[in-house]
Amino acid sequence: MKNIVLFGPPGAGKGTQADFLKDMYNLVHISTGDVFRFNIKNKTELGLLAKKYMDEGDLVPDEVTINMLKAEVEKNADANGFIFDGFPRTESQAEALDVFLAEKGEQINGMVALEVPEDALVTRLLERGKTSGRTDDTDESKIRNRFNEYNTKTAVLKDYFDAQDKYYGVNGLGSIKEITQRIAKVFDAL
Protein backbone atom coordinates (compact mmCIF):
# COMPACT_ATOMS: atom_id res chain seq x y z
CA MET A 1 0.00 0.00 0.00
CA LYS A 2 1.02 3.58 -0.59
CA ASN A 3 -0.18 5.94 2.15
CA ILE A 4 0.50 9.62 1.62
CA VAL A 5 -0.21 12.64 3.79
CA LEU A 6 -0.94 15.61 1.51
CA PHE A 7 -0.05 18.63 3.57
CA GLY A 8 -0.18 22.40 3.39
CA PRO A 9 -1.96 25.44 4.74
CA PRO A 10 -5.59 26.25 3.92
CA GLY A 11 -5.94 27.07 0.21
CA ALA A 12 -2.68 25.40 -0.84
CA GLY A 13 -4.51 23.15 -3.33
CA LYS A 14 -4.57 19.84 -1.44
CA GLY A 15 -8.07 18.87 -2.55
CA THR A 16 -7.46 19.83 -6.17
CA GLN A 17 -4.23 17.84 -6.31
CA ALA A 18 -5.71 14.84 -4.48
CA ASP A 19 -8.43 14.57 -7.15
CA PHE A 20 -5.77 14.07 -9.84
CA LEU A 21 -3.43 11.92 -7.78
CA LYS A 22 -6.07 9.46 -6.55
CA ASP A 23 -6.84 8.52 -10.17
CA MET A 24 -3.18 8.48 -11.27
CA TYR A 25 -2.20 6.10 -8.46
CA ASN A 26 -5.52 4.31 -7.77
CA LEU A 27 -5.64 5.52 -4.16
CA VAL A 28 -8.55 6.49 -1.92
CA HIS A 29 -8.69 10.21 -1.10
CA ILE A 30 -9.81 10.92 2.45
CA SER A 31 -10.47 14.60 2.98
CA THR A 32 -11.43 15.43 6.53
CA GLY A 33 -12.97 18.65 5.22
CA ASP A 34 -15.23 16.75 2.81
CA VAL A 35 -16.26 14.30 5.52
CA PHE A 36 -17.02 17.16 7.92
CA ARG A 37 -19.01 19.01 5.25
CA PHE A 38 -21.03 15.83 4.49
CA ASN A 39 -21.86 15.52 8.20
CA ILE A 40 -22.71 19.22 8.44
CA LYS A 41 -24.99 19.07 5.41
CA ASN A 42 -26.78 16.05 6.89
CA LYS A 43 -26.95 17.68 10.35
CA THR A 44 -25.40 14.72 12.13
CA GLU A 45 -24.26 15.11 15.73
CA LEU A 46 -20.64 15.12 14.53
CA GLY A 47 -21.50 17.61 11.81
CA LEU A 48 -23.12 20.08 14.18
CA LEU A 49 -20.15 19.87 16.53
CA ALA A 50 -17.64 20.27 13.69
CA LYS A 51 -19.56 23.25 12.27
CA LYS A 52 -19.28 25.10 15.57
CA TYR A 53 -15.48 24.88 15.47
CA MET A 54 -15.12 25.46 11.72
CA ASP A 55 -17.32 28.57 11.77
CA GLU A 56 -14.89 30.13 14.23
CA GLY A 57 -11.92 29.11 12.08
CA ASP A 58 -10.77 26.67 14.77
CA LEU A 59 -9.63 23.08 14.37
CA VAL A 60 -12.02 20.26 15.27
CA PRO A 61 -10.81 18.37 18.40
CA ASP A 62 -8.43 15.44 17.82
CA GLU A 63 -10.62 12.69 19.24
CA VAL A 64 -13.54 13.51 16.92
CA THR A 65 -11.27 13.76 13.89
CA ILE A 66 -9.31 10.56 14.65
CA ASN A 67 -12.42 8.43 15.12
CA MET A 68 -13.91 9.79 11.92
CA LEU A 69 -10.73 9.01 9.98
CA LYS A 70 -10.54 5.45 11.31
CA ALA A 71 -14.10 4.85 10.12
CA GLU A 72 -13.23 6.11 6.63
CA VAL A 73 -10.20 3.80 6.39
CA GLU A 74 -12.28 0.83 7.57
CA LYS A 75 -14.89 1.56 4.89
CA ASN A 76 -12.15 1.18 2.26
CA ALA A 77 -10.29 -1.84 3.65
CA ASP A 78 -9.43 -3.19 0.16
CA ALA A 79 -7.81 0.06 -1.06
CA ASN A 80 -4.33 0.20 -2.65
CA GLY A 81 -3.55 3.04 -0.29
CA PHE A 82 -4.77 6.42 0.89
CA ILE A 83 -4.17 10.10 0.35
CA PHE A 84 -4.85 11.78 3.69
CA ASP A 85 -5.87 15.39 3.03
CA GLY A 86 -6.34 17.62 6.07
CA PHE A 87 -5.18 14.90 8.45
CA PRO A 88 -3.15 14.68 10.58
CA ARG A 89 -3.16 18.29 11.78
CA THR A 90 -1.44 17.84 15.13
CA GLU A 91 1.39 15.67 16.43
CA SER A 92 -1.05 13.65 18.53
CA GLN A 93 -3.12 12.94 15.39
CA ALA A 94 0.06 11.90 13.53
CA GLU A 95 1.00 9.55 16.35
CA ALA A 96 -2.54 8.10 16.44
CA LEU A 97 -2.42 7.56 12.65
CA ASP A 98 0.97 5.80 12.92
CA VAL A 99 -0.38 3.48 15.64
CA PHE A 100 -3.60 2.78 13.72
CA LEU A 101 -1.74 1.96 10.47
CA ALA A 102 0.87 -0.14 12.31
CA GLU A 103 -1.97 -2.26 13.72
CA LYS A 104 -2.83 -3.02 10.08
CA GLY A 105 0.80 -3.67 9.13
CA GLU A 106 0.96 -0.38 7.23
CA GLN A 107 2.67 3.00 7.55
CA ILE A 108 2.76 6.50 6.08
CA ASN A 109 5.15 6.40 3.11
CA GLY A 110 5.59 10.15 2.95
CA MET A 111 4.25 13.59 3.69
CA VAL A 112 4.05 15.77 0.59
CA ALA A 113 3.74 19.43 1.58
CA LEU A 114 2.48 22.10 -0.81
CA GLU A 115 4.43 25.25 -0.03
CA VAL A 116 2.67 28.53 -0.91
CA PRO A 117 3.22 32.08 0.48
CA GLU A 118 0.47 33.22 2.88
CA ASP A 119 -0.61 36.28 0.88
CA ALA A 120 -1.19 34.12 -2.20
CA LEU A 121 -3.30 31.79 -0.05
CA VAL A 122 -5.48 34.62 1.30
CA THR A 123 -6.24 35.68 -2.28
CA ARG A 124 -7.07 32.08 -3.28
CA LEU A 125 -9.36 31.53 -0.29
CA LEU A 126 -11.27 34.79 -0.71
CA GLU A 127 -11.77 33.89 -4.39
CA ARG A 128 -12.91 30.36 -3.45
CA GLY A 129 -15.26 31.86 -0.87
CA LYS A 130 -17.26 33.57 -3.63
CA THR A 131 -18.50 30.19 -4.87
CA SER A 132 -17.74 27.55 -2.20
CA GLY A 133 -20.49 28.47 0.27
CA ARG A 134 -17.91 28.11 3.05
CA THR A 135 -18.27 30.89 5.63
CA ASP A 136 -14.64 30.38 6.69
CA ASP A 137 -13.50 31.41 3.16
CA THR A 138 -15.28 34.77 3.06
CA ASP A 139 -13.81 36.66 6.01
CA GLU A 140 -10.13 37.62 5.91
CA SER A 141 -9.86 37.75 9.72
CA LYS A 142 -11.18 34.16 9.95
CA ILE A 143 -8.77 33.12 7.20
CA ARG A 144 -5.86 34.70 9.09
CA ASN A 145 -7.03 32.89 12.24
CA ARG A 146 -6.88 29.58 10.32
CA PHE A 147 -3.29 30.39 9.32
CA ASN A 148 -2.47 31.17 12.94
CA GLU A 149 -3.97 27.81 13.98
CA TYR A 150 -2.01 26.11 11.19
CA ASN A 151 1.29 27.81 12.09
CA THR A 152 1.03 27.18 15.83
CA LYS A 153 -0.48 23.67 15.83
CA THR A 154 -0.03 22.03 12.44
CA ALA A 155 3.24 23.23 10.91
CA VAL A 156 5.12 21.28 13.62
CA LEU A 157 4.23 18.12 11.69
CA LYS A 158 6.97 19.02 9.22
CA ASP A 159 9.49 18.22 11.97
CA TYR A 160 7.60 15.06 12.96
CA PHE A 161 7.75 13.58 9.46
CA ASP A 162 11.19 15.02 8.69
CA ALA A 163 12.58 13.13 11.70
CA GLN A 164 11.33 9.94 9.99
CA ASP A 165 12.84 11.01 6.61
CA LYS A 166 9.31 11.19 5.20
CA TYR A 167 8.93 14.93 4.52
CA TYR A 168 8.85 16.20 0.93
CA GLY A 169 8.27 19.91 0.25
CA VAL A 170 6.81 20.81 -3.16
CA ASN A 171 6.42 24.29 -4.68
CA GLY A 172 2.64 24.93 -4.70
CA LEU A 173 2.75 27.89 -7.11
CA GLY A 174 2.16 27.51 -10.84
CA SER A 175 -0.43 25.78 -12.96
CA ILE A 176 -2.36 22.84 -11.54
CA LYS A 177 -0.66 20.56 -14.09
CA GLU A 178 2.83 21.78 -13.13
CA ILE A 179 2.13 21.18 -9.44
CA THR A 180 0.68 17.72 -10.16
CA GLN A 181 3.85 16.81 -12.09
CA ARG A 182 6.04 17.94 -9.17
CA ILE A 183 4.04 15.84 -6.72
CA ALA A 184 4.03 12.82 -9.07
CA LYS A 185 7.84 12.81 -9.07
CA VAL A 186 7.76 12.46 -5.28
CA PHE A 187 5.00 9.79 -5.37
CA ASP A 188 6.97 7.78 -7.94
CA ALA A 189 10.03 7.77 -5.66
CA LEU A 190 8.12 6.50 -2.59
Q: How would you write 102-147 as a 3-class SS string?
A: HHCCCCCCEEEEEECCHHHHHHHHHHHHHHHCCHHHCCHHHHHHHH
pLDDT at 139 over 90: no
pLDDT of residue 178: 96
Rounded mean pLDDT, 16-41: 89
pLDDT of residue 184: 96
Of residues 103 and 136, which shows the higher confidence score?
Answer: 103
- Radius of gyration of the chain, Cα coordinates, nearest whole angstrom: 16
pLDDT of residue 174: 93
Cα–Cα dist 127/105, whole Å: 42
Query: In this structure, what CATH number is given to the domain that contains residue 128?
Result: 3.40.50.300
Cα–Cα dist 161/110, whole Å: 8
For the annotated binding site for ATP, the residues are: 11-16, 128, 174
* Residues identified as active-site: 14, 89, 128, 134, 146
When mean pLDDT is compared across 59-68, 82-91, 122-131, the lowest value belongs to 59-68
For the annotated binding site, the residues are: 11-16, 32, 37, 58-60, 86-89, 93, 128, 134, 146, 174
pLDDT bin (cut points 50, 70, 90) of residue 145 is confident
Rounded mean pLDDT, 133-146: 86
Mean pLDDT of the chain: 89
Q: Which amino acid is residue 58, in one-letter code?
A: D
How many beta carbons lie within 10 A of that of residue 128, not counting itself?
Answer: 15
Indicate the number of domains in the chain.
Answer: 1
The winner for highest mean pLDDT among 122-126, 143-147, 159-163 is: 159-163
Domain range for residue 32?
2-189
Q: pLDDT digit string (tens) for 29-81?
A: 999 878 878 888 999 887 888 888 878 888 778 877 887 788 889 889 899 99
pLDDT bin (cut points 50, 70, 90) of residue 115 is very high
For the annotated binding site for AMP, the residues are: 32, 37, 58-60, 86-89, 93, 134, 146
Rounded mean pLDDT, 157-185: 95
pLDDT at 182 over 80: yes
pLDDT at 132 over 80: yes
Rounded mean pLDDT, 78-86: 93
